[in-house]
Amino acid sequence: MSSPVNGTASSASSTTLSSATPLLEVSGLTKHFPIYGGFPIKRKVGAVQAVDGLDLRVAEGESLGLVGESGCGKSTTGRLITRLLEPTGGTISYRGRDITHASRRQLAPVRSEIQMIFQDPYSSLNPRQTVGSIIKSPMEVNGIEPDGGREKRVRELLELVGLNPEHYNRFPHEFSGGQRQRIGVARALTLNPKLIVADEPVSALDVSIQAQVVNLLQELRKELGIAFVFIAHDLAVVRHFSERVAVMYLGRIVEIADRADLYENPRHPYTRALLSAVPEATADDAPARERIRLAGDVPSPISPPSGCRFRTRCWKATDTCAAQAPPLVRAEGNSAGHLTACHYPETARLPVDG
Amino acid sequence: MLRFLVRRVSGAVVILLIISAVTFWLFYAIPRDPALMSCGKNCTPEALAQIRHNLGIDKPIPVQYWDWLVGIFAGREYSGYGFCHAPCLGYSFANREPVYGTIMDRLPLTLSLAFGSALVFLVLGIGAGMLAALKQGRFLDKLASSLSLIGSSLQIYFVGYIAMFLLVAKLGVLDQPSYTPLTQNPVSWASGMLLPCLTLAIIFTANYTRMTRSQLVEQLSEDYVRTARAKGLSRANVFFRFAWRGAMGPIVTVFGIDLGTLFGGAIITETTFSMQGIGRLAVDSVDKSDLPMLLGVTLLSAGAIVFLNVLVDAVYALIDPRIRLA
Amino acid sequence: MNNPFLSIRDLKVHFSTEDGVVKAVDGLSFDLAKGRTLGIVGESGSGKSVTNLAVLGLHDREHTALDGEILLDGKELLTATERELERLRGNKMSMIFQDALASLSPYHTIGAQIGETYRKHTGASRREARARAVDMLRRVGIPMPDVRVDDYPHQFSGGMRQRAMIAMALVCDPELLIADEPTTALDVTVQAQIMDLLKELQQEFGTAIVFITHDLGVIADIADDVLVMYGGRCVEQGSKKEVLRDPQHPYTLGLLGSMPSLHGPVDVPLSPIPGSPPSLLNPPSGCRFHPRCAFMEKVDGGRCTSLQPVLEVVDGRGTACHLAPGQRRELFADFATARAL
Rounded to 10 deg, the angle between the A177-189 and A207-224 helix axes is: 20
pLDDT grade for A6, boundaries at 50, 70 and 90:
very low
CB C228 within 8 Å of CB C216? no
Query: Do C130 and C227 fall into the same domain?
Result: no
User: Are C192 and C291 members of one domain?
Assistant: yes
Least confident of A141-150, A288-297, B227-236: A288-297
Q: Residue A12's pLDDT is what?
A: 39
Question: Which of A:248-277 have CB within 8 Å of C?
Answer: 259, 263, 273-277
Q: Phi/psi of residue C102, each to 5°?
A: -75, -25
Tell if the CB–CB gap between C259 and A236 is shorter than 8 Å.
yes
Average pLDDT, chain B: 87
Closest C-alpha to A304, from A51, A134, A77: A51
Angle at B68 between CA B66 and CA B73, to 5 degrees: 95
More confident residue, A352 or C128: C128
Chain C nearest-CA residue for A273: C189
Does any domain span residue C102?
no
pLDDT band at A122 (very low <50, low <70, confident <90, very high): confident
Same domain, C16 and C148: no
Q: Is A39 on the interface with B (CB under 8 A)?
A: yes
Question: Residue A288 has what pLDDT?
Answer: 53
Residue C131 belongs to a domain? yes
Q: Which residue of B has its CA nearest to A36?
A: B326
Q: Pick B153 or A344 by higher pLDDT.
A: A344
Phi, psi dihedral angles at C293 (to 5 degrees)? -85, 140
Touching B (3+ Cβ pairs <8 A), the chains are: A, C
Cβ contacts from B onto C, under 8 A: 68
Q: Is residue C271 part of a domain?
A: yes
Q: Which of C50, C99, C103, C109 to probe the B interface (max B CBs under 10 A)?
A: C103
Q: Does pLDDT of B82 surpass 80? A: no
Number of domains within chain C: 2
In-domain check, residue C100:
no
Stretch among A29-33, B52-56, C60-64, C270-274 having the lowest mean pLDDT:
B52-56
Query: Looking at the complex, does the CB of residue B3 fall below 8 Å from at least one CB of chain A?
Result: yes
Q: Which residues of A touch C142 (CB under 8 A)?
A: none
CA distance A317 to chain C (A): 18
Residues in chain B: 326
Report, as an integer, the average pLDDT of A332-336.
87
Average pLDDT, chain A: 87
Is it the case that residue A13 has pLDDT exceeding 80?
no
Q: Is the CB of residue C249 less than 8 Å from the CB of residue C321?
A: yes
Residues C23 and C113 in one domain: no
Residues C2 and C139 in one domain: no
pLDDT computed for residue A14 by the predictor: 40
Check whether residue C56 and residue C195 sit in a common domain.
yes
C253 shares a domain with C111: no
H or E element at residue A196? strand A195-199
Q: C332 and C190 in one domain? A: yes
Residue with the bigger pLDDT between C129 and B6: it is C129
Instruction: Express each pLDDT in B146-172 by its tens digit.
Output: 998 888 888 888 888 888 888 888 888
pLDDT of A10 higher than 60: no
Q: In angstroms, how far is CA C335 from the centroid of its own chain? A: 26
* pLDDT score of B321: 86
C341 inside domain: yes
- Distance from the Cα of C193 to chain B's closest Cα (Å) equals 23
pTM for the model stands at: 0.86
> B89 near B292, Cβ under 8 Å?
yes
For residues C2 and C125, membership in a common domain is answered with no
Give the β-pairing of C225-230 and C75-76.
Answer: unpaired
Model confidence pLDDT, tens digit, residues C265-305: 888 888 889 888 888 888 899 999 999 998 988 888 889 99
> B242-251, C146-155, C256-265: which range is least confident on average?
C256-265
Q: State the pLDDT confidence band at C117, using cuts at 50, 70 and 90.
A: very high
Share of chain B above pLDDT 70, in %: 98
Task: Map residue A116 onto helix, strand or coil.
Answer: strand
Give the phi and the psi of residue A193 in degrees, each rounded to 5: -70, 160
Distance from CA of A324 to the nearest CA of C (A): 25
Domain membership of residue C80 (yes or no) is yes
Domain that holds residue C26: 1-92+174-341
- Of C145, C168, C191, the one marking the end of a domain is C168
**pLDDT recorded at residue A327:** 94
Provide, as residue numbers in chain A, all residues whose Cβ is less than 8 Å from the Cβ of B3: 39
Residue C24 within any structural domain of the chain: yes
Q: pLDDT-based confidence at A7, cuts 50/70/90? A: very low
Q: What is the pLDDT of residues B246-269, one digit of tens each?
A: 999 999 999 998 998 888 878 888
For C41-71, the pLDDT digits (tens) are 998 888 888 888 899 999 888 889 999 999 9
What pLDDT is recorded for position C335? 67
Lowest average pLDDT, out of A17-26, A228-237, B158-167, goes to: A17-26
Instruction: Give the domain-ending residue among C115, C147, C168.
Output: C168
Q: What is the pLDDT of residue A109?
A: 83
Closest partner residue to C107 among B230, B235, B321, by Cβ? Answer: B321
What pLDDT is attached to residue A8? 39
Closest Cα of chain A to C235: distance in Å?
16
The alpha carbon of C230 is separated from its chain's Cα centroid by a whole number of angstroms, namely 13
pLDDT tops 60 at residue A16: no
Does C174 contact B at CB distance below 8 Å? no
Residue A70's closest chain C neighbor by CA? Answer: C187
Give the tens place of pLDDT for each residue, C8-21. Answer: 999 999 988 888 89
With 50 as the cut, is the pLDDT of residue C140 above it? yes
Whether B13 has its CB under 8 Å from any CB of chain A: the answer is no
Q: What CA–CA distances, in Å, run from A249 to A91, A225, A232, A270? A: 20, 30, 13, 8
* Distance of alpha carbon B188 from alpha carbon A91, whole angstroms: 79
Residue C101 lies in a domain: no
Q: Which amino acid is at A2?
A: S
For residue A351, name the pLDDT band (cuts at 50, 70, 90). low
Domain boundary among the residues C135, C153, C168 is at: C168
DSSP state of A101: T
d(CA C163, CA C143): 11
- The minimum CA-CA distance between A264 and chain C, rounded to whole Å, is 9
Phi, psi of C180, rounded to the nearest 5 degrees? -100, 100
Give mean pLDDT, residues C183-210. 91
Instruction: Sort out which chain C residues have CB atoms less than 8 A from B315's CB and list them.
Output: none
Q: Provide DSSP, C19-82.
A: TEEEEEEEEEEEEE-TT-EEEEE--TTSSHHHHHHHHHT-S-TTTEEEEEEEEETTEESTT--H
Give yes or no for residue B51 having a pLDDT over 60: yes
pLDDT grade, residue C208 (50/70/90)? very high
Q: Are residues C213 and C326 in the same domain?
A: yes
- Per DSSP, the residues of C153-212 read GGGS-HHHHHHHHHHHHHTT--SEEEEESTTTTS-HHHHHHHHHHHHHHHHHH--EEEEE
d(CA B76, CA B198): 42
CATH number assigned to the domain comprising residue C285: 3.40.50.300
Q: Report whether pLDDT(A40) > 80.
A: no
Per-residue pLDDT, A340: 96
CB contacts of C210 in chain B (<8 Å) are: none
Residue B143 half-sphere exposure toward CB, CA atoms < 13 A: 7
Q: Specify the domain boundaries for CATH 1.10.3720.10 within chain B.
A: 100-323
Give the residue from B255, B234, B297 showing the smallest Cα distance to B114. Answer: B255
- pLDDT beyond 60 at A307: yes
Ordered DSSP codes for A32-80: EEEEEE-SSS-EEEEEEEEEEEEEEEE-TT-EEEEE--TTSSHHHHHHH
Under the banding of pLDDT at 50, 70 and 90, the label for residue C197 is very high
**Complex ipTM above 0.90?**
no
Mean pLDDT (whole number) for B70-95: 82
> Looking at residue A305, what DSSP letter applies?
P
Homologous superfamily (CATH) for B100-323: MetI-like (1.10.3720.10)
Verify whether the Cβ–Cβ distance C188 to A277 is below 8 Å: yes
Per the CB < 8 Å rule, is C86 touching B322? no
Name chain C's partners: 3 or more CB pairs within 8 A: A, B
The answer to whether residues C124 and C253 belong to one domain is no
pLDDT at A11 over 60: no
Neighbours of A342 (CB within 10 A): 24
pLDDT value at A2 more than 60 = no
pLDDT band at A308 (very low <50, low <70, confident <90, very high): very high
Together in a domain, C69 and C142: no
Mutate to test the interface with A, among C258, C271, C280, C292 (most CBs of A within 10 A): C258
Q: Which long-range contacts (CB under 8 A, 24 or more apart) does A105-110 make?
A: A107/A83, A108/A142
Q: What's the pLDDT tens digit per position in B169-213? A: 888 888 888 888 888 888 888 888 999 999 999 889 999 999 999
How high is the pLDDT of residue B155? 85
